[in-house]
Amino acid sequence: MSTLKSFSTETSERYSRALFELTNETNELEKVENDIISFQMLLNSSQEIQNFIKDPTQSISQQNKVVNLFAEKLNFSKNLKNFFLLLIEKRRIFFIKKIFESFLKLCSKKRGEIKASLISSKNLSKSELDKISKELSEAIGLILKFDYKVDNELIGGLKIQLGSIMIDTSIKNKLKKYEQAMLEN
């Protein structure tokens, strides 16, 4: 199996690593992480902003104006603002989503956190999610952060994806196993 990364992934990881190291050295890591999360929420909520960033016909000066406006309104750190301007200058601004995802992974890794996916059949309360996270974190010796979703088709139970490990306690999965066993007999 090939371990080659795409150009966009490799480039995004390089830029995110550079931003991570710079903000870590200047003790701005937490501020920049929060600024990036704020920007991502804005980006995900606006198709117009997404189109603007993806549009290669935008002039550098126009992109700089928009970034300066974002930086002022969202109170970006100076390093993050300059990072945006560098991406515009190098014509890499359309990688911003991948760069920021990679940056946030580096921040989580620094804190000893691991991302996992949790899907439940019903809406879980914050305390239930915290309890599941705490118990699994203690079991594996690392801090788990869940991407949480509800899937009503599971009927009951949970599905947890941690890297290549899948724990499926859903009733839907159990019914599928019974059906398969009955068909084999």
Per-residue pLDDT of the chain (185 residues; tens, 9 = 90+): 445 567 678 888 999 999 999 999 999 999 999 999 988 888 888 888 888 888 888 888 998 998 898 888 888 989 999 999 999 999 888 889 999 999 998 988 888 777 778 888 888 888 888 888 888 778 777 777 778 888 888 788 788 887 777 777 777 777 788 888 888 86
Domains (ranges, CATH) in the chain?
7-109 (1.10.520.20), 112-184 (no CATH)
Nearest C-alpha neighbor of 159 from the set 175, 146, 170, 174: 170
